[in-house]
Amino acid sequence: MVFENNIMNGHHKGWVEVITGSMFSGKTEELIRRLKRAIIARQRVEIFKPYLENRYSRSKVVSHDEKAIRSIMVVKASDILSRARDMDVIGIDEAQFFDQGLIEVCNQLANQGVRVIVAGLDMDYRGQPFGPMPGLMATAEYITKVHAICVRCGNLAQYSYRKSAGRELVLLGEKKEYEPLCRQCYNNTEAS
């Protein structure tokens, strides 16, 4: 991958990478993979997640398949800046739950020469752009869109369909509350 080659060739100048997609698509797993490679390369790495995200652990970022890496919970995006000093790589999980200030935080870190890797949902359960993710994707140097598999037809899924009746924007959940659907299955479900 281009960003990993840049580091290996000594061209580390700072940039933003975004990993995005629906629930159950492997975003956090890919974030952890990239961060562990940076640790192996003896780079100084710190990982952050929003205070709201405590489904699996308060002190770790954990993927649905139970891969984990130590992390720091923060209340707001600006809290990352004071804790990211002297780091080569910053990882941020569940970016959609942060405030809009995350866009400026990521760009400020990248401008300081830090590799910033951000993972988050691109759309909410209604199929609308989610939180700071559109702004992050617009300003990032690298974007990786990952897909889940539609549980109804087996095609690539890009929607996080909420099975429960609740209409609040943020509802932390798992397979009991959400399922990944392709465009056609999502539209068919929303129409019924």
d(CA 71, CA 20): 19
Among candidates 153, 155, 150, which has minimal Cα distance to 181? 150
Is 94 annotated in the active site? yes
> Are the beta carbons of 133 and 121 closer than 8 angstroms?
yes
Distances (CA, A) of 114 to 85, 86, 107, 125: 10, 9, 9, 32
Q: Which of 4, 94, 168, 190 is catalytic?
A: 94
Write out the catalytic residue numbers. 94
